[in-house]
């Protein structure tokens, strides 16, 4: 049986409990727009008989009040891990799409502003030379338009190289951020373990932990697993980056100098697990994976494609030019060279003297034949279509990666939506909870008043005779 003040205690527990509920509700409302905040819910527990009665003991109590069983953080670890995966893929695709779109818009095609217009200019100049092979002006025009073509090709290469430089810089920044985050996550893991041992509320630490793990996934596509002590262990490329309270490091092992320039070696990354040795990793996702893919495959591929076009131009023009004869009747020299290491290359103009332009197909002395000009103009048809293929190929790649990114965005949004459905704060809901608790608090206060008056009757009125 309950004691005299048993009911007062039960009522007091109600007041305490509902205060806690309102406190948590107000915390939820306060964080309605906080990034990474998962709503909390107070789980009440009726205080009553012990769950496991002791042998031979009797418990006849009931209605002993309520207490805060736990404050639940409404999250689903499965959804969290899906979100990390989708975000990793998303940022991988976004990084690639953005870089390729930049390169593509710098081409100035198909509006005919870039290399294709320069090629057309060269073909026109050769045709005009065929019409007027004895004119110094048309000869000079051939040299001038060829120089424009060389500059246009060099401009394209510079654009690709600039993008490579930007990607190297951003890769270094991402690697730095990854290491800082890994370090912070390890510290959070440790704090969580300590807080749990001390019995403190770990919700805010867990929010921070999940945020960091998500960002790590966005950076590297790394996967995270709960380690049984409240912390998250992160694996990047199959190698442990964070284990409990200890963090390893991600580093660029070759390919990039610390100042962001290329060291000429193939790009390679390595993860050093806590207390372990550096292990090469590949196939990363996220922003780092995107940059590695761009630097390792896509951008060098584009550079090679452009160089192939330059080679095609040089080969076609040289073959035709060497079959002709210049103003003095001497055999034509090579017109272009391809030099990938030339800062103004890869296409290099070799003939700069208008008199050396081999317009004539007839040797043996000076003449006014211009048919070799026609032949060279015709020979440029191959490189022109080669360049068109290069542009279309890039356009296809950009369109494809953009489509992939858009599709992935749907998936990412869906997972984010599912998380938000579970963890997001709804103000109406919190208001209802608050009202409910307010009323319950009021009712408990009324119970207290009633008890008071009951006791008053018993203590002050009992035994009094009027």
Partner 1 sequence: MPINRVTQSMLTDRSLTRLQGSLSRLADIQEHLSTGRVLNRASDNPGDAATAMRLRASLGEQQQYARNAEDGQGWLASLDSTLGSANDMVRRARELGQQAVNGAMSQQSRDALAAEVDQLRSALVANANTTYVGRPVFGGTTAGSAAFTESAGVVTFTGDTNPVNRSVADGVVVDVSVAGPTAYGADGDNVFDHLAALSTALRSGDTTGVQTGVTALTSDSDRLVVARAEVGARTNRVDLAVTRAGDLETSLTNALAEIENADLPKTMVDLKMQEVAYQASLAATARVLQPSLVDFLR
Query: Given the rule CB under 8 A, which residues bind partner 1?
Result: 32-33, 101, 104-105, 107, 109-112, 116, 120, 123-124, 127-128, 130-132, 134, 360, 362, 365-369, 371, 374, 377, 384-385, 388-389, 391-392, 394-399, 402, 413-414, 416-418, 420-422, 424-429, 431-432, 435
Shortest approach of partner 1 to residue 383 CB, angstroms? 11
Shortest approach of partner 1 to residue 68 CB, angstroms? 23
List the structure tokens of 134.
């004895």
Shortest approach of partner 1 to residue 236 CB, angstroms? 29
Identity of the residue, 100 or 250, whose beta carbon is nearer to partner 1 in the bound complex: 100
List the structure tokens of 350.
């070799």
Identity of the residue, 39 or 209, whose beta carbon is nearer to partner 1 in the bound complex: 39
| Among 194, 242, 246, 197, CA closest to 217 | 242
**H helix or E strand, kind and range, residue 39:** none
| Among 188, 172, 272, 284, CA closest to 230 | 188
Residues 6+ apart with CB under 8 A from 415: 79, 82, 83, 86
Identity of the residue, 253 or 371, whose beta carbon is nearer to partner 1 in the bound complex: 371
Shortest approach of partner 1 to residue 377 CB, angstroms? 8
Shortest approach of partner 1 to residue 376 CB, angstroms? 12
Identity of the residue, 284 or 394, whose beta carbon is nearer to partner 1 in the bound complex: 394
3-state secondary structure of 74: coil
Identity of the residue, 392 or 457, whose beta carbon is nearer to partner 1 in the bound complex: 392
Identity of the residue, 123 or 321, whose beta carbon is nearer to partner 1 in the bound complex: 123
List the structure tokens of 379.
């020979």
Shortest approach of partner 1 to residue 86 CB, angstroms? 15
Identity of the residue, 247 or 357, whose beta carbon is nearer to partner 1 in the bound complex: 357
d(CA 177, CA 188): 16
Identity of the residue, 121 or 345, whose beta carbon is nearer to partner 1 in the bound complex: 121
Identity of the residue, 46 or 431, whose beta carbon is nearer to partner 1 in the bound complex: 431
**H helix or E strand, kind and range, residue 280:** strand 279-281
Shortest approach of partner 1 to residue 428 CB, angstroms? 4
List the structure tokens of 324.
């002709």
Shortest approach of partner 1 to residue 444 CB, angstroms? 21
* CA angle centred on 157, ends 168 and 95, rounded to 5°: 40
Residues 6+ apart with CB under 8 A from 89: 221, 285, 408, 412
Cβ pair 107, 394 in contact under 8 A: yes
**H helix or E strand, kind and range, residue 67:** strand 66-73
Please state, in angstroms and as integers, the Cα–Cα distance from residue 423 to each residue in 41, 42, 178, 207, 416, following that order.
10, 14, 26, 11, 10
3-state secondary structure of 43: strand
Q: How many CB atoms neighbour CB 25 within 10 A?
A: 25
Shortest approach of partner 1 to residue 83 CB, angstroms? 14
């Amino acid at each position: 049986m309950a004691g005299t003040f048993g009911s007062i205690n039960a009522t007091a527990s109600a007041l305490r409990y509902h205060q806690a509920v309102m406190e948590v509700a107000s915390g939820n409302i306060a964080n309605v727009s906080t990034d990474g905040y998962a709503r909390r819910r107070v789980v009440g527990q009726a205080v009553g008989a012990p769950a496991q009665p002791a042998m031979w003991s009797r418990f006849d109590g009931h209605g002993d009040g309520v207490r805060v069983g736990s404050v639940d953080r409404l999250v689903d670890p499965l959804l969290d891990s899906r979100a990390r995966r989708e975000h990793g893929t998303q940022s991988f695709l976004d990084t690639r799409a953005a870089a390729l779109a930049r390169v593509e818009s710098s081409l100035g095609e198909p509006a005919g502003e870039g290399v294709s217009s320069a090629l057309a200019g060269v073909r026109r100049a050769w045709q005009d030379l065929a019409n007027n092979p004895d004119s110094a002006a048309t000869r000079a025009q051939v040299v001038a338009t060829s120089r424009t073509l060389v500059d246009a090709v060099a401009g394209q290469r510079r654009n690709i190289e600039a993008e490579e430089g930007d990607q190297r810089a951003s890769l270094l920044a991402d690697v730095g951020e990854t290491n800082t985050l890994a370090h912070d996550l390890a510290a959070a893991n440790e704090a969580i373990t300590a807080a749990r041992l001390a019995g403190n509320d770990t919700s805010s630490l867990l929010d921070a932990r999940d945020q960091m793990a998500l960002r790590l996934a966005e950076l590297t596509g790394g996967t995270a697993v709960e380690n049984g002590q409240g912390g998250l262990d992160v694996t990047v490329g199959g190698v442990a980056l964070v284990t409990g309270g200890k963090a390893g490091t991600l580093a660029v092992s070759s390919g990039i100098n610390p100042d962001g320039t290329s060291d000429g070696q193939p790009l390679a990354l390595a993860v050093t697990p806590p207390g372990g040795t550096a292990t090469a990793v590949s196939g990363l996702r996220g922003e780092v994976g995107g940059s590695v893919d761009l630097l390792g495959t896509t951008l060098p591929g584009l550079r090679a494609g452009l160089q192939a076009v330059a080679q095609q131009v040089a080969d076609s023009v040289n073959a035709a030019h060497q079959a002709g004869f210049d103003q003095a009747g001497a055999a034509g020299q090579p017109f272009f060279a391809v030099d990938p290491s030339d800062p103004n290359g890869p296409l290099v103009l070799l003939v700069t003297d208008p008199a050396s332009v081999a317009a004539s197909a007839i040797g043996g002395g000076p003449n006014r034949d211009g048919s070799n000009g026609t032949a060279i103009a015709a020979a440029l048809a191959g490189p022109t279509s080669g360049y068109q293929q290069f542009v279309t190929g890039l356009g296809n790649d950009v369109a494809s990666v953009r489509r992939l990114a858009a599709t992935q965005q749907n998936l990412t949004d869906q997972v984010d939506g599912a998380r938000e459905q579970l963890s997001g704060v709804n103000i109406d809901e919190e208001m209802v909870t608050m009202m409910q608790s307010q009323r319950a608090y009021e009712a408990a206060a009324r119970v207290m008043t009633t008890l008071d008056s009951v006791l008053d009757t018993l203590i002050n009125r009992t035994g009094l005779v009027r």
